Structure 1
């Protein structure tokens, strides 16, 4: 038979005994699960996640079967395009792009409901990721994607790791799309302009900065080029990181007025990188170094100063403002996350005006085939800085041991009311119903994490053990436990929207913190229900985010042990509404336990266990045991991601007693 007339391929399904190609056979298992239900119903989403986690062979079987169903059912143009993609060995990303486009067209035209359900089912399966992405063709995928990359920049002279402009453009576009907006501590336009110019002596770009950025960008890429060893998340961006570290040694003696802004920005990027790869105390080391550099430049923890155009360009003024206020945000996020006082007490220069820059900028969800939308980055940045002011004050009140001071609870309530006022002041375009860009969803998650930390801190380190914490009092206006649980459920709702709109594969690392925190808040309930839909939603999202980094995998392992310690595995096993993957994840512990597919997530925890300095203050507990509660989990999270801050001296501000 000629290549132009290939023989029909038949799915090896037990329903079909005939050698003839089936034209109107029964639905595949995944399609049966979808039939008659909304494609984005959350129970279906959880089931899809868990079934994919459980049986990869079923996933590939159903995917192949559904693809042929779509070919038979859709309009000819769609079927022809899909076949062409398959024949030219298209990647999953390419098929995914086509499926999303087809979904939108078919939904608008109202055609073929059965095919629409099939496409939704395929999209749902591809959306889920429980392991490192499989090895994929190297060059074809990148060439396909970079044709639509929003930013085009050269590889040379910035890095020696690669001379591939397409790869570097792909990674820079990923970083600026999914990571940059959350803290926005460099000026994007100036950076891109000077990177394109190729001047390594630029005041806005440097090889150190570029390689640090590329190392971070690899966190968001599933392609083999992002790995030193394809599929091993520990090697994501390792080559770019090694080059960035070589450059860091050359810049380590920059002091005072000799400090270059790109060096400070690169140090902040390395902080982010180390905090997801679990490099001991390197996370805190980079953050503290960045704060010291900013203090030397006089842009934080100093009296107010004015930046004048007679002394520097407008681009430099904007870049300095972004870096100073971006550092402030990072510092307040890190320290409130882990119940510690922030080190940046004040920013010495004024903020970027709320409507000053990029008011009409668009955010494009590269590489997803979704429409661009307004980024509202200036408004976002201003609101995020205002939230950081509250977070700084919260961080000074947080305590790991509780506080019996009579005024303590009142201060907590006042801080909570400030948070509520901030939330009510957000612009209408930030409403989740408006389907905003993901950094706006993350901003709302950040608000809810502050609420949870504030409330659980008010309860003390043994919140679950105190019965009065969960007793409802109609006359009590500030009930920390109820407020914290409500915020945990709000994070579940935001995670659900993030996943529906953009997927979790590109979620910022802060989403992992928020989702994990919400899960442990729900676990603190005396009436905790393992079949709670919000809990399962968060678990599903956590499984996707966690597999992308070593720290994420370690945290997911600790979460698994903590849930199993609640001894509700039998309820999961007996439930007919819970898919096999969830049953395996939360199974009841027994004396002779078979390994599960997440056991290897514990790799790397033994290094922490072996370091006695990490066990000091934790009693006999080790990192590979279940967390006893919220505060215990946060202490472990901190040590896994950024290290031990106690090893670092107080900031210059604290030493001098200034603010």
Structure 2
């Protein structure tokens, strides 16, 4: 209750219900009537109004999806008469949609829906997904409501507001950070004890060995697809390789196919530059067309990151040597090539870059990624994506296959280049004005191919389920997200230009549109494969890095809050990681997850630095650090990430936050390299400020610096 022109707000109990005698906005309450001469005005709280709008939007979206499903069924002509009869009888859209789904689930292949071995598996997985679903729902609706008006009209400019300097590095010229002579040692979780032995010796006995091999064979059949030993297609040379001769490191095909299954199960299709079905076909037939020894060794080196078996290590006793033997073979083959202009070489460079990113060797990873995209451009692979959907003439099957592989190769190199550019605050290799009309086609038989959490034991983890992979849908939406990141990079880092609030909101609108239009099959709750979870993580990561340079500012004339959006994105990342951990553990995650978690961690740390009583951010900070510890067993960069966070705590005066009592921390040389490269993720190492120079005339560009009280 406020006097004069104030507003009288309702008092709610813990469940949000009005208690007796309190204002309901319709009848004056006792307090209003007891104060003579005071005009009481009731206004609906902003938060309450937004909640109602969100519920209405969700209802409208649900109704729209129901309508779209029914229209699609009508156009198929298979059930059109039945649906028309139901509509004439006055049945609701929801009832008709539910009947369609029941019919589809009955007639569809078992591979097209998620199946569970028992009820307890379904319950456990549903519980594990709660955190991710809650984060996804909040992130989808809250920013959208606040940004609608500001995206539809120009942002007002307040010229009279004085500009304030931005402390940190510029967007186009990254500052080198100088190390400090402070010492502190971070110890990661101890690695699992190594076991020396061959693939067969690792098992307990003949009976166990037989069941284990059966489990691996079934798991590989799901992940890699059925073996097809048919003759080579017309026009293809006779096989010059056998499955035993693709790599010189081992002749054991069981090891090779096991490591390939681990890669395709846990990393693919994230930044994937190869078409799985075409690669596997040539791998099994021994045809060096879409498969090569270089590519095989690169894939095996990356696949080793998901295995605890001693054969995955160059030194069976040293977990740090995981995949080194295959990577050394790949490096030797790459250096011995006289002409790098081949699809498999472009693909292999991208895979090798991802593997080096996992290990924390950023310079090497950036070099390989750069070589991959440059080579793709030299070969004109980008032209395949610029042609458009119309075909100038009839094409035979072989040409269509080649086009599909070329498109996959280009998009893999392109998306990886965009990811590294986003992490390092650099412009990508492509110009700002590109038109990439052609995306990889979505093929139903590929979409409904099953996925299981394949492991060294050949079978799933504690919770057992088989779900459709939706590989092509994931890949297509991932390509679309990479295009928006491309726009982000030129908005933030174009030399000689500063960011305006309108440009920032326009890019933000593109992200919201992308999230709002992703297929239902890829929404959290419908699908929970690692690649789907990664796509959501990557989206929130992009939002975080879009707004992080502006956390000290508000946007004039808009309800969009850069700081709130960063906080929301960081919390969503933490929540999705919690679901991932409960579903699969964090010992098998796509390589770039560690970089995403580091970004979330440093933002939570900055929030705690600004307000030490922020228990929520503090709790999530500890969750992120625990996640990095778990991932350190398979990703070397996770150790560097923890080291970088320790360094930031000492620089920001928060050395005792993890309870070790140490006042200083001196990072390793590898960590210093990471800090120098990962400016958008790490932030300024001398303060809790963020690293972008968003222009000297902030007010002119539509921004207002927050007061100290608003920042805490």
Both structures adopt the same fold (TM-score exceeding 0.5): yes
What TM-score results when the alignment is normalised by the length of structure 2? 0.59
Q: How does 1:550-629 map to 2 (within 5 A)?
A: 550-563=636-649, 565-567=651-653, 585-590=658-663, 605=670, 628-629=687-688
Give deviations 1:353-384, integer Å, cap 9, x for gaps: 34566121211210233312011112111211
Which of residues 175, 183, 195 in structure 2 aligns to 1:136? 195
Answer yes or no: is the 8 Å Cα contact 1:133–1:231 preserved in 2.
Answer: no
Higher RCO (C-alpha 8 Å, min separation 6): 2
Cα displacement (A) at 1:244 = 0.6
Which of residues 449, 452, 476 in structure 1 aligns to 2:541? 449
Q: How does 1:92-131 map to 2 (within 5 A)?
A: 107=120, 130-131=189-190
Cα displacement (A) at 1:428 = 2.5
User: Structure 1 pair 493/206, CA: closer, same or farther in 2 (3 Å)?
Assistant: same
Give deviations 1:53-98, integer Å, cap 9, x for gaps: xxxxxxxxxxxxxxxxxxxxxxxxxxxxxxxxxxxxxxxxxxxxxx
- Alignment of 1:185 onto 2:273: yes
Give deviations 1:252-274, integer Å, cap 9, x for gaps: 433xxxx2211111111111122
Cα displacement (A) at 1:335 = 0.9
Aligned to 2:438: 350
Aligned to 1:417: 509
What is the total number of aligned residue pairs between the two structures? 465
Cα displacement (A) at 1:521 = 1.3
Aligned to 1:244: 330
- Alignment of 1:150 onto 2:220: yes
Q: What is the alpha-carbon distance in structure 2 between the residues aligned to residue 486 and residue 371 of structure 1? A: 31
SS at match of 2:491: coil
Mark the structure with the bigger radius of gyration.
2
Cα displacement (A) at 1:390 = 0.8
Q: What is the alpha-carbon distance in structure 1 between the residues aligned to residue 598 and residue 251 of structure 2? A: 39
Aligned to 1:534: 620
Cα displacement (A) at 1:302 = 8.3
Aligned to 2:698: none
Q: What is the alpha-carbon distance in structure 2 between the residues aligned to residue 587 and residue 411 of structure 1? A: 44
Cα displacement (A) at 1:130 = 2.5
Q: How does 1:366-377 map to 2 (within 5 A)?
A: 366-367=454-455, 368-369=460-461, 370-377=464-471
Runs of 5+ in structure 2 lacking a partner? Answer: 1-115, 124-187, 204-208, 228-241, 693-712
Runs of 5+ in structure 1 lacking a partner? Answer: 1-102, 111-128, 573-584, 594-598, 634-659
Q: What is the alpha-carbon distance in structure 2 between the residues aligned to residue 452 and residue 557 of structure 1? A: 21
User: Structure 1 pair 427/180, CA: closer, same or farther in 2 (3 Å)?
Assistant: same
Which of residues 506, 513, 530 in structure 2 aligns to 1:438? 530
Answer yes or no: is the 8 Å Cα contact 1:156–1:198 preserved in 2.
Answer: no
Give deviations 1:323-364, integer Å, cap 9, x for gaps: 112222112111112222221344767212345661212112
Aligned to 2:473: 379
Answer yes or no: is the 8 Å Cα contact 1:429–1:436 preserved in 2.
Answer: no
Q: What is the alpha-carbon distance in structure 2 between the residues aligned to residue 607 and residue 431 of structure 1? A: 38
RMSD across aligned positions (CA): 3.6
Q: What is the alpha-carbon distance in structure 1 between the residues aligned to residue 677 and residue 313 of structure 2? A: 35
User: Structure 1 pair 383/632, CA: closer, same or farther in 2 (3 Å)?
Assistant: same
Q: What is the alpha-carbon distance in structure 1 between the residues aligned to residue 599 and residue 676 of structure 2? A: 22
Answer yes or no: is the 8 Å Cα contact 1:132–1:548 preserved in 2.
Answer: no
SS at match of 1:281: helix
Q: What is the alpha-carbon distance in structure 1 between the residues aligned to residue 243 and residue 305 of structure 2? A: 19
Cα displacement (A) at 1:141 = 4.4
Which of residues 361, 369, 376 in structure 2 aligns to 1:287? 369
Answer yes or no: is the 8 Å Cα contact 2:297–2:329 preserved in 1.
Answer: yes
Q: What is the alpha-carbon distance in structure 1 between the residues aligned to residue 362 and residue 544 of structure 2? A: 27
Aligned to 1:217: 303
SS at match of 2:284: helix
Answer yes or no: is the 8 Å Cα contact 1:339–1:453 preserved in 2.
Answer: no
Which of residues 406, 414, 424 in structure 2 aligns to 1:338? 424
Cα displacement (A) at 1:148 = 3.9
Aligned to 2:158: none
